[in-house]
Amino acid sequence: MSESHGCCRCCFSFIFTLGLTSLFMWLSLRTSNPKCSIDTFFLPALNNSLIKSTRSTNNTVYFVLKLENPNKDKGIYYDAVNVNVSVAVYNDTPSKNHSLIGSSVIPNFYQGHKKKAYKNGSVEFDRQLQAVFRAVLNNSTKAEFRVDMATAVRFKIMAWKTKRHKIRVGGDVKVDGQGSIEGKKGIKLKSMAAPNKKMISCFVVIAVGFLINFFVFYFA
């Protein structure tokens, strides 16, 4: 009888240690995707305070992309960051369509723990100029744009790099009569893909298995 209880205690100790090790590994390897937002967004062509000749000759969208690494002990390697800028066109209907203005590419870079990065970009919209002003007229001197960002990242955990994780985020940007973001606040870019729950599911399975084995061996 005593040998049986000793065996149960030994098995329980092993399972308990395995559970703690799994929990520690999960906490150590868990990663959080970078937080992405549009910090500034400016179109001189829509700035009513500029003289007409200046507005008409500058058909460029200027923006600053803000990328924040929320991980305390993990760096992030970014592949080239692709940014698409579109304008919302209503075409005399309540529903809107997005017409692509152009794209900008930010070169690959590395971001340290808990660091923020501000990346400048610009897009010219020569062919889309009429669509932009049509959007402004339909929105009472305000225009609405769409910014979509796509890249892939690798997380640096000590000396080890994870595999690439694709990131696709986007958000709507409303511009006022000064050609800047309405409200003077940054626009958060939200994920357009379902979250990856594989690691969370794995941890749940380990935890459930641990509890089942605990009750089986302890009350046997």
29-38, 123-132, 151-160, 172-181: least confidently modelled range: 123-132
What average pLDDT does range 163-191 have in this prediction? Answer: 90
Q: What angle is formed at CA 116 by the lines to CA 189 and CA 39, rounded to 5 degrees? A: 45
Give the separation between CA 78 and CA 156, rounded to whole angstroms: 11
Mean pLDDT of 199-215: 53
Contacts of 28-31 spanning 24+ positions with Cβ under 8 A: 28/157, 29/157, 29/199, 30/199, 31/71, 31/74, 31/155, 31/157, 31/162, 31/165
List Cβ neighbours of 194 (8 Å cut-off, separation of 6 or more): none
13-62 pLDDT tens trace? 655 565 555 555 555 567 889 999 999 999 888 887 776 666 666 778 99
What's the whole-model pTM score? 0.73
Q: How far apart are CA 97 and CA 91, in angstroms?
A: 8
Q: Which residue has the tokens 């006022």?
A: 176
Span 75-113, pLDDT tens digits? 999 999 999 999 887 666 666 778 888 899 999 999 999
Higher pLDDT, residue 210 or 69: 69
